[in-house]
Structure 1
């Protein structure tokens, strides 16, 4: 499949609702990664750990929308699988920037673990809906030479490339950053590949979770 391909989503709903448990589990995972990043700061304030939180989303579809019922975390092989490392070195870095030569940059799910997760969830009646991954405010806290690309809940060109490769109908970006009061804040948005650019989904997160943790959902 080429990166020019678009998924035939047909009449698949654009509304995506998260149940409380999978939303909370990913939030806690993303926060844990972000705090590990902050704790890795050296004398100059620059962290050495780039937070990478990523998960697979499983759920159901009805006339009202897509409901995310579970999230699975699978191993990251970005810096251990030779074929994946070669993809970053020969294709991704030349196309999307030298920062992607950093083996800590990016997430690539282990294919065998993905297959096992799909089989496990199918036994419970859930279908694979897509993925969720976190973005930190690396453009503010990362090494100076890696601050050129501003991160947010919007997809980067690299994200759009991967979303087109996977052709999943739901791709969620969870932006975690340090707020003005020193606490953590979250902005979350959902996307799917479109004819030219990614198209925004209507994302609904549990209101109590949003209120407790300061989560804003876009669109």
Structure 2
């Protein structure tokens, strides 16, 4: 990210308590369900021209080296309204990762004001901001012909890796969602700020 974008997120994240390292991510059923409902709604509106992203902040507690996710919180996409976001995509993201990212719904830039509000509200309730989760649809099936040979999964894309490293969050979850045999199926994978995979478990209740 450009320096201004990094500084904005760094100042906000100073309000959150984060572990020195994360050895495992424990994800509540309620948090998964909340995100999947929002992601499924966005998925239903995906067209060849509009990937329709879904992004949320992970809230919970740090228990030693484990991140226990109990809730997710949503904010606005500031791709078109935040000057730092517009500059970042125009000068760094598009030249590095391709013209597909000129599409304002191709990627997410969480509104800094929303992140600050989420962080303060979480802190007031004794919760930590642990990281983020975002949607990867089966864009290689739903998108234009040029996307057919670039399947997504629950692994980070090069663009995701760039954002994970620069945001510095200890937990970054990718939710892959696809339609098969008339139903929606998903998988989740967690990654740290250096894009190393973390063990992820979800509970059943």
Task: Report the equivalent of 2:106.
Answer: 105
* TM-score, length basis structure 2: 0.86
1:95-134 pair list within 5 angstroms: 95-134=96-135
Report the Cα distance in structure 2 between the residues aligned to 1:132 and 1:139, rounded to whole angstroms.
20
**Contact 1:172 1:190 (C-alpha < 8 Å) held by counterparts:** yes
Instruction: Sort the Cα spacing of 1:104 and 1:140 in 2 relative to 1 into closer, same or farther, 3 A.
Output: same
Note the C-alpha offset of 1:204: 0.7
For structure 1, the residue ranges without an aligned partner over 5 or more in a row are 4-8, 41-46, 209-219
For structure 2, the residue ranges without an aligned partner over 5 or more in a row are 4-17
Task: Report the equivalent of 1:169.
Answer: 170
Report the Cα distance in structure 1 between the residues aligned to 2:150 and 2:116, rounded to whole angstroms.
33
**Contact 2:60 2:68 (C-alpha < 8 Å) held by counterparts:** yes
**Contact 1:192 1:201 (C-alpha < 8 Å) held by counterparts:** yes
Deviations 1:146-197 (A, max 9, x none): 4453211000010000000111100000000111x12111011000123xxx
Task: Report the equivalent of 1:137.
Answer: 138
Task: Report the equivalent of 1:89.
Answer: 90
Task: Report the equivalent of 1:185.
Answer: 185
Report the Cα distance in structure 1 between the residues aligned to 2:45 and 2:2, rounded to whole angstroms.
36
Report the Cα distance in structure 1 between the residues aligned to 2:201 and 2:163, rounded to whole angstroms.
23
**Contact 1:79 1:104 (C-alpha < 8 Å) held by counterparts:** no
Task: Report the equivalent of 1:76.
Answer: 77
Report the Cα distance in structure 2 between the residues aligned to 1:200 and 1:101, rounded to whole angstroms.
29
Report the Cα distance in structure 2 between the residues aligned to 1:33 and 1:205, rounded to whole angstroms.
23
* TM-score, length basis structure 1: 0.81
Task: Report the equivalent of 1:202.
Answer: 199
Q: How well do the aligned residues superpose, as a CA RMSD in angstroms?
A: 2.2
SS at match of 1:119: helix
**Contact 1:54 1:134 (C-alpha < 8 Å) held by counterparts:** yes
Note the C-alpha offset of 1:134: 0.4
Report the Cα distance in structure 2 between the residues aligned to 1:105 and 1:126, rounded to whole angstroms.
30
Larger Rg: 1
Report the Cα distance in structure 1 between the residues aligned to 2:148 and 2:163, rounded to whole angstroms.
21
**1:23 corresponds to 2:32:** yes
Report the Cα distance in structure 2 between the residues aligned to 1:64 and 1:177, rounded to whole angstroms.
32
Note the C-alpha offset of 1:77: 0.9
Instruction: Sort the Cα spacing of 1:64 and 1:89 in 2 relative to 1 into closer, same or farther, 3 A.
Output: closer
User: Which segments of structure 1 move beyond 4 Å, counting only runs of 4 or more?
Assistant: none
SS at match of 1:12: coil
**Contact 1:172 1:189 (C-alpha < 8 Å) held by counterparts:** yes
Note the C-alpha offset of 1:121: 0.6
Note the C-alpha offset of 1:95: 0.6
SS at match of 2:199: strand
